[in-house]
Chain A
């Protein structure tokens, strides 16, 4: 099977000659008699790696790790035993891939790829990936001698893994790189593993091996000393490192099946480990963030010239979450006497993610366990962390994250669609359509004044064809002849007669003074839509000086598809017989609309004289925003109202066409609160 590695009875020995002449004789003279002795650096190593498996190789310096890898790679030949490794092997052994200092990174990448047996065609294909992965920027075309070792590492790793190998072998090389590239490399290694590559990783770094490998092999003195879960192997390895004098290593399985490692000289011992809450009660289940105390009872069995307690918390994978010792906190004891008893209390907040953790403890003479190791306990006390109080989170560490979301770029315009939203703007004189861009909308503006329509058409001449239309049409309740009352200010013209008393008496309403009349032919919105093949209107804006309700009444069935109405409403009549807000509100409510916002409340006073502040008015947006402003004189005449179809607020599945239309429409209208309301519905289709 491709990717399988079978190592059986493997041994490697170097020839040792009694003198130089013996070597010459050995070399030149034929015949059987051996004139050398063999120095075995690796002996009787047997293991196998399944395709797609990741195995870590751990060992002290000189344990034979590099020799083993070189033999698997094929750079050197075994003296005994066999290796079967199927598939393409890529290796990053020590530093570099035989790089040449005078050549540029690019040339070296080419050379290294050629040495791996790639042809020029394949290299031309891989080179951009190598350059991108190495992330050494312009250095890629600079000679290698000006590279830092980290940069060489980046290049070597990028070259070795550019083409997915069947077997990837990494020898310690990754310890050279910077933290960022190490992360990136390990991500890449994991990805290669997920894609089925077999991984063999040599490292002293427990985290590196644990994060990638499910199994580790410990080489010691040229033989396989242990094989198993990385955590257990590393515990044993650390104990090996610490094994000085007569220190003996004992591993025993605890209840959970995890191997516990207990080692040390025993001159001081951790007699017990306990976990307590803030009130001193023993606990084994801890809440995220809860204050806890770990208590160690220590007995001293010899006179010591230094005693340091180390305490750490490991997760269930054996990754150290946090650890420190009394040397680092400046509390090392200079001496301890035979028979002394100590209690160490370590207090901290369990700012840990949910899961199972264990307490790791060590008693040493000074800072590190290499110095002198009295007692070393892994998985001394196992406890659970649960999360009853904090918001759900992932990870192994609790920390409070505050999110602040600011949208920097304007929202992307909605894509053009086959079925555009139809927007109607009646009384569009003040300009319209700017809000409805991006191809998702068809906009129809209405104004009875032909000249005004020409002006508006010219203004929107740049719009994509078919998206903006200006209709020189007067809309009314019924089709037929009507009189258009033209006013001093053309924008105030109406099919209703302005109240002359009002326009005379109110300076602010002088604009609506009747100056001329024109007989015109009005149509209904429903009739116009039928004639123009419009089957549905999504949004309508009405500002027609008193005929807004009329136009809605003439809309017929179109009201059913309407989602939003922006409408000018009057509270006191300016035109004769005009309907007021209450009429419009009643009309729209009956047809499934609700009032959403009322703004621009406009007041007029008879003499037009501004009075001083009279009172205060407050506008509140929930409890969060409350705006207070002074009121002044005058009577409320009109305002801008927005009604939305009640149905807009009903939950709809994500991806529902109407939901998408609503989101597009209300985004364009700037009604982010409605959009958020729609988006808050998490209904699966």
Chain B
């Protein structure tokens, strides 16, 4: 049902993604070039600062770029996770004018939140991959593991985002609360730091964080050039599925009332 509707509205979805990109860079001289320049600058800063200026050595690696790669691997993928949630939170509220007047499949809105985030991520991650290729640190075959890792991350974020976004229609506190929690979550996930530097007590707590094995997986592939620990991904995989079920359930139950509440 959801899938059928999305397929029927594929031209709308494609158009909406394009319009979102156009709208962001509307009126700027460089236009879409900014979509590349922004991530380029970020990666360049990370690369220069942490390899040349502030030398940070990772326990497992001796390369001068290792920490820069570690940072990018974490920050970029977290970016995808946070963006999906962020967009989903406000997807109904910001599109109230459409929801109240037009009868179109509501599932288009979460789909757009995810699609837009994935497009952004694809741009920035491509730049990162090119950077890896240039400095000769592309992981090779283990890079295939990126697909399931991104899959789990996106599914997790989508389920959570749809659940929160639906709730946010009825209780606007959700949006504020979610943003605060995301801040904490970021620092409870080994993104900036390697998990090994945490004291053991906090480390045990961090291990409950479903994002931890996913992040470590990304770092294994991108920094270490090795396959992730597949067994450790079972836990986040199950959590992601559960969240997706929760999101779908809440959405299904309340979608019809959304127009009345906006």
Which residues in B have their C-beta under 8 angstroms from that of A93?
Answer: 101
Give the size range of A's interface with the partner.
20 to 34
Please report the C-alpha to C-alpha distance between residue A307 and residue B98 in the assembled complex, in whole angstroms: 50
Asked if residues A120 and B260 are in contact (CB atoms below 8 Å), the reply is no
Interchain CB contact under 8 A, B12 and A115: yes
Q: Which of B15-23, B129-137, B191-199 contacts A (4 or more CB under 8 A)?
A: B15-23
Residues of B within 8 A of A23 (CB): 170-171
Give a binary string over A91-103; 1 marks a CB under 8 Å from any B CB, 0 the rest: 1011011101011
Rounded to whole angstroms, the CA-CA distance of A511 and B101 in the bound complex is: 93
For residue A567, CB closer than 8 A to chain B, the reply is no
Closest 8 CB pairs of A and B: A74-B103, A114-B12, A98-B98, A77-B256, A76-B259, A120-B11, A119-B11, A93-B101
Contact B16 A98 (CB under 8 A): no
Determine whether A587 belongs to the interface, using a CB cutoff of 8 Å to chain B: no
Tell yes or no: A24 within 8 A of B by CB: yes
Flag if B19 contacts A115 (CB, 8 Å). Answer: no
Q: In the complex, which range does the number of interface residues on chain B fall in?
A: 20 to 34
The contact of B103 among A14, A75, A102, A119, by CB within 8 Å, is: A75
- B62 close to chain A: CB less than 8 A: no
Is A385 located at the chain interface by the 8 A CB criterion? no
Q: Which residues A16-39 have CB closer than 8 A to chain B?
A: 23-24, 27
Residues on the A chain within 8 Å of B260, using CB? 14, 76
**Which residues of chain B come closer than 8 Å to A74, judged between CB atoms?**
103
- A73 in the interface (beta carbon within 8 A): yes
- Flag if B98 contacts A115 (CB, 8 Å): yes
Which listed residue (A97, A111, A119, A123) contacts B19, Cβ 8 A?
A111
The residue in chain A whose Cβ has the minimal distance to the Cβ of B23 is A102
Could you say which residues of chain B place their CB within 8 Å of the CB of A102?
Answer: 23, 26
Do A75 and B23 have beta carbons less than 8 Å apart?
no
In angstroms, Cα B258 to Cα A77, docked, is 10
Q: Which of B100, B103, B170 has the most CB of A within 10 A?
A: B103
A98→B11 contact, CB < 8 A: no
Q: Does A115 lie within 8 Å of B104, measured CB to CB?
A: yes
Distance in angstroms between the alpha carbons of A110 and B15 in the assembled complex: 8
Instruction: For A119, list chain B residues within 8 Å (CB).
Output: 10-11
With A75-B259, A77-B257, A117-B9: A107-B103 Cβ-Cβ less than 8 Å: no
Minimum CB–CB distance from A445 to chain B (whole Å) comes to 68
Interface string of B165-209 (1 = CB under 8 A from A): 001001100000000000000000000000000000000000000
A14 to B259, CA, bound (A): 11
User: A99's closest neighbor in chain B, by CB?
Assistant: B97
On whether the beta carbons of A97 and B12 are closer than 8 Å, the reply is no
A-B contact pairs, 16 of them (CB 8 A): A23-B170, A23-B171, A70-B100, A73-B103, A75-B100, A75-B259, A94-B101, A96-B101, A102-B26, A103-B19, A110-B15, A111-B19, A114-B16, A118-B11, A119-B10, A120-B15
CB distance from B115 to the nearest CB of A (A): 14
Bound Cα distance A289, B251 (Å): 69
* Shortest beta-carbon distance from B3 to chain A in Å: 16
**Do the beta carbons of B259 and A24 come within 8 Å of each other?**
no
C-alpha gap A102/B103 in the complex (Å): 23
- Which listed residue (B104, B171, B256, B257) contacts A117, Cβ 8 A? B104
Instruction: Indicate if the CB atoms of A98 and B19 lie closer than 8 Å.
Output: no
Interface flag for B4 (CB, 8 Å): no
Q: State the Cβ distance, B15 to closest chain A Cβ, in Å.
A: 5
In the bound complex, residues from chain A placing their C-beta under 8 Å from that of B97 are: 96, 98
Q: Is B102 an interface residue (CB 8 A)?
A: yes
CB-based contact B259/A114 at 8 Å: no
Contact A75 B257 (CB under 8 A): no
Determine the distance from Cα of A117 to Cα of B11 in the docked complex, in whole angstroms. Answer: 9
B75 interface hit (Cβ, 8 Å): no
Besides A75-B99, A117-B12, 6 other A-B contacts (C-beta < 8 A): A73-B101, A75-B100, A75-B101, A111-B12, A115-B104, A120-B11
Residues of chain B with a CB closer than 8 A to A76's CB: 100, 256, 259-260
How far apart are B221's CB and chain A's nearest CB, in angstroms?
38
Query: Is B8's CB within 8 Å of the partner chain A?
Result: yes
